[in-house]
Structure 1
């Protein structure tokens, strides 16, 4: 390793971590000699002498043979792989093992061996050692820090220099080598990780936690030092805590570490593969605060509350962790746990989560009577049910099921049905139960019912926090329009001709009952138009990265129209998932699926490599559906409020290579989006989570500028000089990070033609070349990174070579006369459209007397409906008005006259100078004029912009004037660079 990196790693990461453990939490630091004296050799992962002593302390009855057996139980494990071995060791460590024992009277009985005292942390020893060598089958590993509890290595810590461009990535690669996984198969020292429970990657400004064999995208931040406050941590450290400090304090405080190991680790089998999970910080804090409220509430009815954890952040697992903790809570006295949902699908999902997590004996209630029997059967039962079963379980308000106070009811998505009549049934049947509500969407700020039933918030983890923590991906929102027009006036006559026997009053009732919105939505021409647009978008933007799509429609009929149209257009494999009824039409019945078939389709959709790419739904899979492979949701339905937000959250799950989720809205009533978001207080973070698609372009612009800034003052055609700028390691690290972020932003925008505009494409290609040369020149392994996306590679390799790229909109200067003329023409078209609309309405008015009932009803309603759907979109006229305003402002900016008395080059330069406060306006203008005059004079040299000596003279002259302006010295370089940019833009001939 590079000596400078060694120094930075030690000084900024490893030493502060060791100090925090030693000073804040009284961990004892073991020297190399201590470690050597307590273990049998470099292949021994335990501090065996320490463990022997602690086993005797915690189990006074144990003999020497028992100690040998207890140690063998966690070191000599027969297993099929690392996870299997780790799970067996974990079970022994947390539950203990059973050994035969003969007491002093000669009686033989089994006894449980404890490795830790989980209830009294001071009876355990907490120690750590640095740079411990552990010998594996073929090579040695040397983790930076190993943390031992009772001689057992529970935590392995890898430290990396904060100067690295991707320190966490480097640490995770190191962990794979240590564990002997993937590209390091057969290497490393996996025996250490058969016993360890936490793996931590530290780099001061970023720190992440994982466990055995955790995939990279599941390594997580730990931002809360709970139960210590951030202020208390800052006070004890005597400085502002770093992310590394928060993680260490939150996870490795002795009480927290034992709690995490005992109650917040689970093993699951997913798609036939056994995986290990450890809680994220929001799950740990929520459970901790819930337990606090239960233990210290002044009255039993105050023990409940609301946990708001945003969709996709692991709410179901939080319920499992809380259930595990409640089972071990002495105050709960062997509690009865009731997990309640309001949908059969959610009931099955959460039941599956409890079963996969190995939670002991959860029972799913089959009916109201069965629910009543289960809750009447005594303490200790875990029951999963839908809220509707309380209807028959508690037929009368006086039918109490249980008076017990050790009943804990966890209610999922509590804002929907549970706080109404059915919640009253729950409360009547279980009058002294503790009610704990879980919700993935914020509680309506006008809604007091949920809090009245369940209590105040216990913990909140909001959408913007989840995105920041990378627990979910950001969501982009895009709106599209399928425009429709009504042709002809025959509609009214056709209705009358079809039903001649009906009176005018009956015709009116018929037309009032016509669901115009749904008819328009399901029109075959409209659906086909949208399907063509969806396929073009999906096949170019989503499918190339291996992700899938969901389409939400207004009704089951429309859903069937969608799936039939998609198949007719040759779409990738798609299926409709919807509820069914015996009296459905033959058309709908052709798309019926049994419960097993629906489950098979959903399972296929969730598998990334399965050819089923698109699901069409209307009333199913909008909530409680977790498919990380889904990246886009095409929305063509009038969803509102919580249902809308939950549907939107279908695309926010993380997956490898997934940078964002996308909502493409075809419905047209954008007011419902605003209503859904405005329901909640701004501090809910919802407003920041829904991002317009244009934000991707803004992100591209800002990241492009950041990546290119280093080369502002150098001739880019001089490749050698550009590469030499990257000679210093810290500058290369910054450049690498900026390059990666720019490449990632390009990947998010592609294949949108915006990404092909200059200078993005050519600059990315140029940066890639400079980066490659710098990597060869400085032999820096850190530059050996993975490709940044198939689409970016395609762009560099082939798109830039093509001369036949079709652009939907040719880039045009908004001050170009041709562009201004087109704006005027668009304005005239808008005016024409307005006149046509007025003429149509006039015609209706004129002919209304011919048939007042007909002309005042359906046709007018339909035309108005379509018009309203169109005008609810962002108005083209208003956008053009904004362009006019922008064009005027840009013209003023180009003249340099916005807010200043100067114009031309001097007016453009004036706002770029950072004057001292005591410089008056006249002096400011004079200095700007002098700079402009000097630059204009020196720019008379032919091709001055290509001659470094001329540019050097310009920069020197600019700085002379800036000094006379008493400009801030620290800002002088930045001001000079900006003024030179103005010169290049204005003075190049």
Structure 2
């Protein structure tokens, strides 16, 4: 234990503290927790907080008693947490930190603003880094590192020892999130003032907001850092310096700590969450503000890969700009390009309750807002600029102020045509910042003149690449798999043939367009009924075997609206119509009769459409698609249903809508049957790259099933510089090449082990090859890679020859996997398919026999040889671990962690085999008892009969076993016939059962044995 503390404290903890103390120009002073001027139950250091209140508020300085009143009020906010929940209390406390509260402490009882922190003059604050801070709430805790600003604990850090390979920052984060420590629950009041939490083990570092799950914690680097600089103690200290310096912490508190409401499903109430920035968002937002303040250059291009949070980046930048007094109340114009993006941005900004936010509804209104000099944050779509007429003689445009800042989302598409010119004319002195999720292609170079400043290398002010976002865990990798080669359509030869015809007949461009529209050969081929039928069969087969078992969902992208409808009826018939839905732009379809549809009159054209496509389109279906298309709220509700894992909707069928600006992390697989290119293709495939974690299952990657061969030549599909999109998408074929090699690597851990040995013998033999934590962690890392490869390929026939070996390795992995959060990144939970495979092939033995055998004569364990004791212990441990691992119940997790400790003590030679076995037996008894209490494992009929037999043996040792068996069987039969649910608590139940029991005992001449009757009745009451 001493060595563990030595490692944890001297290496990581002191390293972090020393770096903070040594920051140049900083004010962190060090205190050991023992020397803090506070009691263990205090959250604030009152003395420091009082000093700050007096120095930052002249009215309080004149009357220092007022400081006590403020502190009293702050304690009240802390107490609210038990009623409102931690996040809401944290949000309320932040209003105090942000000087949004007033109290009547001025002259004549005037209300004055209460300042807790000076954001403008950083040196006016008091910064303390404290170590091993003692705090007592529901439990007693010692926080490794706490950062106090003016006596308020804004940051809490947990550090772990770096001696074990599988221990990562996640093990520190686990102390906040759950397990036995579960700080956010057990020490909740301490986190009401919290800005952020961090965790490290000396090699990696991550931070998160209160109540964030593991996927929402992130690293803190800079976008410029090289790959090799991102692990090790030097990297941790660089993160500490970058994030935990006083200036950055106060900037995050002032402009980046947001609260938002998210829906978690139709049946569950919306959830309030706290948002913190990822480092690329923080970096780019600050660059925008710095550039606006400097006044030059008045533009910049930000390329942050799709899925890394550009909507939030715009929100952060807008808030910072609005909060900066030097900018004299600026106008921030957020420009988006589509209705679906518009609603996503609105959701981000609206959910976060941003002040002074105006959604501009029309072109006319936009012109009015600009001319009337509206201040605040305006959200509009680029197309609302369409009606603005450029007047060359007017050089002032609509508004020539220079504190108008335009943030343009998806900049690559927005600037086409004259829209960019119109924006430039309307706002001649504005600053323009473009955000894009895709790199600049050679064709688009000129459209970026509007944003790319010559001063910026490569024209980018800030770039955050695909590789960086995957490495940081901001997105997941996307893989593709080509399918059904026989159904490919040779697009190139169609195009070639078309050009030849056009040339032969000397057609001009207009005639060519007319011909291609009429011929539409590609569309005809793509939508051939036989082909669509075959593709729908393949989607059903793939979705049922690959996607559904993972409890994830999919999208189907088809050529046009006709294909959407074809696919809807094909998939609906095979999967059920409640599992599929179409989202398409119905208005522009050639199916809307004049005067029909939206104005409430009957729309007859759906019949014509049905006839043309030879499909059973019903009026009800058609109207529903129209409504989904025309009603933003309906579309949002549909998307919420799709995001809800419990909702039966599994597949969305689209052609153009929802390919951009649509975030549904549960979307794992895209079935692609539409020729897409460049940014449209990149945007579409990134619908699958969002992080998702639920029910212990983590989405490892996104998948594109490619029916058209879109990805066969990536260079032509994505016309970008290959360096910029390196590794953006890889074929599943590559996984098939890697799997045999990885399998070999895993099997190499078990030289000479007979893999045909079943049950305990086989598992024990394998476990002996992993004698130390280090070896087990190495195996876990290797098997983790194998498991991901397997999961991605499964259930392909390719895997057949490897199945037995994989199954064996999975069982060994599961048998040594620690319980709780230990090494959460390396020891990930297995995917549902693998667990199912293990369970189908494992006869989980019961520990009851072992317990009963040993408990009946506890002294018998002393007569076993040490080898036998160890063997018995190993067997019991395997069984116990199997039982405890399946439950997420914290009490079971605590028992599992106790087992881990016992084994480590045995392996380290601290205890002998006999003590290990005794410790295991104690835990086993508790497990059985806990299972009974929680109903985690229902007691089987066999258990009941065995236990009754044992009870009779103890009480009536002189009866022959045959008679006892008859008595027990008879009692069992009669009690089962007499009992009913809840009989124990009913008026008549106990009487009926007692009567039945007494009659049975009388029948066997045992009616007078009171002790036997009482014991038997107590047992029946507890177990039947």
Same structural fold, with TM-score higher than 0.5 when normalized by the shorter chain: yes
1:157-168 counterparts in 2 under 5 A?
Answer: 157-164=157-164, 165-168=166-169
Hey, what does 1:42 align to over in structure 2?
Answer: 40
CA distance in 1, matches of 2:831, 2:235: 29
For 1:481-526, what per-residue CA distance to the aligned partner results, in whole angstroms no more than 9, with x for missing partners?
363599xxxxxxxxxxxxxxxxxxx999979831110001111111
**Retained in 1: the 8 A contact 2:533–2:570?**
yes
Give yes or no for the alignment of 1:279 onto 2:277: yes
- Contact in 1 for aligned 2:546/2:794 (Cα 8 Å): yes
The whole-number CA distance in structure 2 between the counterparts of 1:402 and 1:241 is 52
Q: Could you tell me how far apart the structure 1 residues matched to 2:488 and 2:422 are?
A: 51
Q: Displacement of 1:555 after TM fit?
A: 0.8
Q: 1:308 to 1:511 in 2, by over 3 A?
A: closer
From the superposition, tell whether residues 603 and 672 of structure 1 become closer, same or farther in structure 2 (CA, over 3 Å). Answer: farther
Alpha carbons of structure 1 residues 512 and 608: separation in structure 2 relative to 1, 3 Å: closer
Measure, in 1, the Cα distance between the counterparts of 2:152 and 2:444: 51
Paired residue for 1:369?
364
- Residue 89 of structure 1, CA deviation: 0.6
The answer for the alignment partner of 1:480 in structure 2 is 483
**What is the distance in 2 between the residues matched to 1:785 and 1:279?**
28
Deviation string, structure 1 residues 778-805 (Cα, Å, up to 9, x no partner)? x99779967412101122232699xxxx
| 1:249 paired residue among 238, 241, 261 | 241
Within the alignment, does 1:593 sit opposite 2:587 as a pair?
Answer: no
Match in the other structure for 1:557: 562
Deviation at 1:7, TM superposition (A): 2.8
Q: Which residue of 2 aligns with 1:659?
A: 700
Alignment of 1:226-265 (within 5 A): 242-265=234-257
Partner of 1:636: 673
Superposition deviation, residue 59 in structure 1: 1.2
CA deviation vs aligned residue, 1:706-733 (integer Å, no higher than 9, x gap):
4334334878788767534433333333
**SS, match of residue 723 in structure 2:** helix
Which residue does 2:449 correspond to in 1?
Answer: 452
| 1:742 shift after superposition | 3.0
Q: 1:111 to 1:545 in 2, by over 3 A?
A: same
Contact 1:477 1:663 in 2 (8 A): yes
SS of equivalent residue, structure 1 residue 683: coil
CA apart distance, 1:743: 3.0
For 2:747, the equivalent position in structure 1 comes to 708
Superposed counterparts of 1:679-718, under 5 Å: 679-684=719-724, 686-712=725-751
What residue is the counterpart of 1:191 in the other structure?
A: 189
How many residue pairs get aligned? The number is 756
For residues 12 and 681 of structure 1, do their structure 2 counterparts lie closer, same or farther at Cα, with a shift above 3 Å needed?
Answer: farther
Q: Trace 1:717-732 onto structure 2 (pairs within 5 A).
A: 722-732=766-776
My pick for the range that moved more, 534-543 or 511-520, is: 511-520
CA distance 1:97–1:417, change in 2 (3 Å) = closer
Q: CA–CA distance in 1 between the matches of 2:470 and 2:813?
A: 32
Report deviation, 1:640.
1.5
Confirm whether residue 647 of structure 1 aligns to residue 684 of structure 2.
yes
Structure 1 pair 753–131 and aligned structure 2 pair: CA distance change class (3 A): farther
Which residue of the partner structure matches residue 209 of structure 1? 207
Rounded Cα–Cα distance in structure 1 between residues aligned with 2:150 and 2:461: 35
Deviation, structure 1 residue 110: 1.4
Equivalent position of 1:174 in the other structure: 175
Question: 1:782/1:330 Cα in 2 relative to 1: closer, same or farther (>3 Å)?
Answer: closer
Counterpart of 1:576 in structure 2 is 582
Contact kept? 2:102, 2:114, Cα under 8 Å: yes
The aligned residue for residue 778 of structure 2 is 734
The residue aligned with 2:934 is none
Does the Cα contact within 8 Å between 2:780 and 2:813 map onto a contact in 1? no
- Report the counterpart of residue 334 of structure 2 in structure 1: 339
The alpha-carbon distance between structure 1 residues 790 and 426, as it changes in their structure 2 partners (threshold 3 A), is same
CA shift, 1:357, in A, is 1.3
Q: How does 1:429-448 map to 2 (within 5 A)?
A: 429-448=426-445
Instruction: Give, in angstroms, the shift of residue 387 of structure 1.
Output: 1.0
Q: Please give the TM-score of this superposition, normalised by the length of structure 2.
A: 0.70
Aligned to 1:625: 662
CA distance in 2, matches of 1:781, 1:66: 48
**Contact kept? 1:58, 1:116, Cα under 8 Å:** yes
Q: Is the contact between residue 766 and residue 812 of structure 2 (CA under 8 Å) also seen in structure 1?
A: no
The residue that corresponds to 1:289 in the other structure is: 287
Unpaired stretches in structure 2, ≥5 consecutive residues: 264-269, 454-459, 490-510, 592-604, 611-618, 844-1024
Q: Distance in 2 between matches of 1:666 and 1:262?
A: 49
Give the CA deviation at 1:120. Answer: 1.6
CA shift, 1:210, in A, is 0.1
CA distance in 2, matches of 1:726, 1:695: 30
Name the SS for the 1:312 alignment partner: coil
Distance 1:782 1:573 in 2: 38
Q: Whole-Å Cα distance in 1 between the matches of residues 485 and 109 of structure 2?
A: 81
Secondary structure class of the residue paired with 2:525: helix
Q: Give the drift of 1:123.
A: 1.2
Q: Report how far residue 749 of structure 1 moved.
A: 2.8
1:134-149 to structure 2, matched below 5 A, reads: 134-136=135-137, 138-149=138-149
Measure the CA separation in 2 of the matches of 1:719 and 1:567.
46
CA distance, structure 1, for counterparts of residue 731 and residue 652 of structure 2: 24
State the 1:609 CA deviation.
1.6
Shift of 1:478: 1.1
Alignment of 1:100-139 (within 5 A): 100-103=104-107, 107-136=108-137, 138-139=138-139
1:247 Cα deviation (Å)?
1.9
Q: Indicate the structure whose relative CO is greater, using CA pairs within 8 Å and at least 6 residues apart.
A: 2
CA 1:317/1:614 → structure 2, altered by over 3 Å: closer, same or farther? same
Which residue of structure 1 lines up, in the alignment, with residue 53 of structure 2? 55
Cα pair 2:385 2:419 within 8 Å, conserved: yes
- Residue 244 and residue 485 in structure 1: after superposition, are their counterparts in 2 closer, same or farther (change >3 A)? closer
The reply to whether residue 528 of structure 1 matches residue 571 of structure 2 is: no
Alignment of 1:468 with 2:471, yes or no, is yes
Change (3 A) 1:710 1:112: same
CA distance in 1, matches of 2:523, 2:813: 56
- Separation of aligned partners in 2, 1:455 and 1:508: 34
Contact conserved, 1:207 with 1:247, CA < 8 A, in 2? Answer: yes
1:325–1:633 Cα change, 3 Å: same
User: For the Cα contact (< 8 Å) 2:27–2:123, is it kept in 1?
Assistant: no
Report which stretch shifted further, 516-525 or 412-421.
412-421
Q: 1:431 to 1:178 in 2, by over 3 A?
A: farther
Residues 1:267 and 1:511: Cα distance change in structure 2 (over 3 Å): closer
Query: How far 1:624 sits from its partner (Å)?
Result: 0.7
Summarize deviations over 1:71-121 as a string: whole Å, max 9, x none.
Answer: 233321234111111110112112342111233xxx332111111111121
Counterpart residue number, 2:316: 321
Aligned to 1:809: none
* CA RMSD, Structure 1 to Structure 2 (Å): 3.1
- Residue 369 of structure 1: how far off its partner (Å): 1.3
Can you list the C-alpha shifts for 1:261-296, whole angstroms capped at 9, x where unaligned?
A: 111111000011101110001111111222222233
CA contact (8 A) 2:59 2:106 kept: no
| Paired residue secondary structure (2:199) | strand
For 1:601 and 1:551, the matched residues in 2 are separated by 16
| C-alpha spacing 1:142/1:705, structure 2 compared with 1 (3 Å) | farther
- Whole-Å separation in 1 of the counterparts to 2:514 and 2:213: 61
Between the aligned partners of 2:324 and 2:27, the Cα distance in structure 1 is 27
Change (3 A) 1:306 1:47: same
| Residue number among 546, 550, 561 corresponding to 2:551 in the alignment | 546
Per the TM alignment, residue 737 of structure 1 is displaced from its structure 2 partner at its CA by 3.0
CA shift in 2, pair 1:124/1:705, >3 Å? farther
Contact 2:747 2:809 in 1 (8 A): no
Render the CA deviation track for 1:19-55: whole Å, top value 9, x for unaligned. 11111244211023431x2x2x211111111111111
CA–CA separation in structure 2 for the residues paired with 1:196 and 1:780: 23
